[in-house]
Structure 1
Amino acid sequence: METTVRLRAQAGVAARPRVTLAQPDTSDVDTARPRRFGARSRVVTAAACLVLGLGLIGGAAAGSWLTEESDDGTRDAYSVTGALWHSVPVDQLFPPTLHGPGAGPGGADRTWTRIAVAPDSGCKDAFDPLLSTALAPAGCLRLLRATYLDATRSHVTTVGLLFTRADAAAMRALHHRFKDEGLDRRTDLMPRPYAVPDTAAAAFGDAQRASWAISVLTDAPVVVYAVSGFADGRPVSEPQPAAQARKTGATTAPAQAGLGHEAAGVADRVEARLRRTVTSATEKPS
């Protein structure tokens, strides 16, 4: 049953829209009981039980998420991550507020407020065609996205978590390809933003993309990315990857405005929260 998320207006932030999720919805932290993306899939549970019952404790095959345990009873981090998209509260992965001590230009502190959460979805039309092609070897299990506004209301940043269908070997191969071939730095492989009417990101479209970061994880079947732009909707003629825009002496508009720091800062913190969530999910019960 589809439910609805109302993102509550916060002081100084535009009223937030109603966002319909394909799974049970979520609410802001500390104001209500956490609502979840959805219950754990029965198919995953059945598959895990079958494998354990046969005594075949192995890595998850591509397209399957089978939970395994080590000798000390801990669950394998890689094999459980694929189920997180529907079993973890949205606020745990995309909190209403992200804090970035020292994350801005010159080591300045940054704070970002969530203004929109996209319905969890597949990957159709979520990426430019060339980026879709580059990511295709990993497959698309589910895509989660949220958009944040900085404290000055000058910049907007969309962050995404692409849960893939790939196994560990395929994720390592994709990671090395992105790094070795510089795919994470190509302007024709920028992620797309998530814009919502009646928010500060209403005009955040493809032409407004200014800086971005893409991280293909090797210890989890996830691709983390973020793309930033100006909140006033101005187009950017010379976008620059975050790694370059953050370098000392960079003179492009994204670099001068600190948009490389915005993309990298939001992506890094969401990735860190994902890793903490995985660690918690795989710890041996007391």
Structure 2
Amino acid sequence: MAGAPAGGPGPGRFRSAAPAGRPVVSFAEPELSGARTRSRVGPRTAAAATCLVLGLGLIGGAAAGSWFTGDGGDDDGRTAYSAAGALWHSVPVDQLFPSSVQGTGAGPGGADRTWTRIAVAPDGGCAHAFDPLLARALAPAGCRRLLRATYTDATQTYVTTVGLLFTKADPAAMAALAARFRDERLDRRADLMPRPYAAAGTAAAGFGDRQRASWTLSVLTDAPVVAYAVTGWADGRVVDAPQPAADAVRAGAGTAPAQAGLGNEAKGLADRIERRLRKTVGTATETPA
């Protein structure tokens, strides 16, 4: 997915601070006898001092080992975050959006689903990809790159666009954005829906804004990514009352999108694309044996 300047947020690497130096240990008060000075050390004091010195050595060795082997948790987290932000131009499209996605148990009542990719949008910016209010809500994170693909189910009854928005935000900014979406329930508002990608000559050719039936959106905090999916019927029918996937998949939901399983389509596909993203990040940050 090359074609734009590379570069992620690139947060700095942190290491645990080194010990500030060994403490000064006084084994005993000196005894003065004439011109000579002699230290008097009891057996218990000597044993305690030996344990202290050995303990400091072990701690120092462990700390040094973690620096050289890269075992620091904070450091690993920042490396993974940076790696995730660079995936849009460093991995093939099939790795993020495979040609076929298996959704075992993803349908209503635990039914299996299989989704087939029918279109991949050229990677680019975020202009016109979101409803105006959603674009405004996501603006604090910035838009580095937007990747989208559209899938259909095995019967070509439904079409679903899944997207990965790679932001310019650091971990703190992504955490703040995720908290806002959660606290204000912005992912449930119909005026904050992502837009579909309709490709001519495919089952999604008529998949426009008025055909959106259900959607899901997730602001990740361990990667500079916003993942989403929006789904509708492949026959181009207009939907007057779209419903967020989180509500449409609830037991007893009686809306048309819920009864048709469109919430399951959006949520099931989005979940699996997000898992692939995390798996790809893990592979990219593995240390060779």
- TM-score by length of structure 2 reads 0.77
- Of 77-86 and 203-212, deviating more is 77-86
| Match status 1:278 vs 2:242 | no
1:117 is the counterpart of 2:120: yes
Are positions 1:38 and 2:35 aligned together?
no
Aligned match of 1:131 in 131, 134, 153? 134
Q: Which stretches in structure 1 are left out of the alignment for 5+ residues?
A: 1-36, 60-68
2:210 aligned with 1:210: no
Residue 238 of structure 1 and its aligned partner are, at CA, apart by: 0.8
Is 1:158 the counterpart of 2:155? The answer is no
User: 1:72: which partner in 2?
Assistant: 69
Paired residues, number: 233
Retained in 2: the 8 A contact 1:156–1:200? yes
Specify the alignment match of 1:227 in structure 2: 230
Give the 3 Å change call, closer, same or farther, for CA 72–251 of structure 1 in structure 2. same
Of the three residues 247, 252, 263, the one matched with 1:249 is: 252
Structure 2: where are the runs of 5+ without partners? 16-65
Q: 1:189 aligns with which of 184, 187, 192?
A: 192
Note the C-alpha offset of 1:57.
2.8
SS at 1:85's partner residue? Answer: helix
Partner secondary structure for residue 265 of structure 1: helix
- Quick one: distance in 2 between partners of 1:184 and 1:71? 43
Structure 2 CA distance for aligned equivalents of residues 250 and 39 of structure 1: 44
Q: CA deviation at 1:106?
A: 0.2
Work out which of the two has the higher radius of gyration on C-alpha atoms and give 1 or 2.
Answer: 2
Once the two structures are superposed, what CA deviation does each residue of 1:73-110 show, in whole Å capped at 9, x if it has no partner?
A: 47511111111100001000000000000000000000
- In structure 2, distance between residues paired with 1:198 and 1:81: 33
- The 5 A counterparts of 1:11-30 are none
Alpha-carbon distance in structure 2 between the residues aligned to 1:40 and 1:86: 8
Q: How far apart in 2 are the matches of 1:134 and 1:44?
A: 23
Over the aligned positions, Cα root-mean-square deviation in angstroms equals 2.2
d(CA) in 1 for partners of 2:156 and 2:180? 36
Deviation per residue, 1:147-173 (Å, 9 max, x gap): 000011100000000000000000000
Q: Distance in 1 between matches of 2:127 and 2:14?
A: 31
| Paired-residue identity, % | 68
What letter corresponds to residue 13 of structure 2 in structure 1? Answer: I
Contact 1:175 1:218 in 2 (8 A): yes
Instruction: Call closer, same or farther: CA 1:173–1:152 in 2, change over 3 Å.
Output: same
Map of 1:57 onto structure 2: 13
* Divergent runs of 4+, >4 A: none
Distance 1:178 1:210, change over 3 A: same
